[in-house]
Amino acid sequence: MDNVYKNFLETSYGSLKKAKYLLHFSLVENYVSKKNYGRAMELTEDVGADGIGHSKKVISYKFQVICSKIQNILSLPSFYG
């Protein structure tokens, strides 16, 4: 594995961990229901499991799709236009 791809995966993993933390914070502060929290967390698990063995382009696309789904679940504005 080359260093650029390794760095990309490490950065992506850090972003995933941050997303999980923010979802948990949103649950604790009652910004999101338990049902929607569970649905969003399932999506974070999906993107984490799917990331291994794929190209940067595929991982980036999947991450954007997952983020869009989480935004819809949580009724957040879109970041991806």
Per-residue pLDDT of the chain (81 residues; tens, 9 = 90+): 678 877 877 787 788 888 888 888 888 988 888 988 888 888 887 766 655 566 667 777 777 777 777 777 777 655 544
pLDDT of residue 79: 52
pLDDT of residue 28: 92
Asked whether 3 and 35 are in contact (CB, 8 A), the reply is no
pLDDT of residue 53: 60
Report how far residue 23's alpha carbon sits from residue 18's, in angstroms, rounded to the nearest whole number. Answer: 9
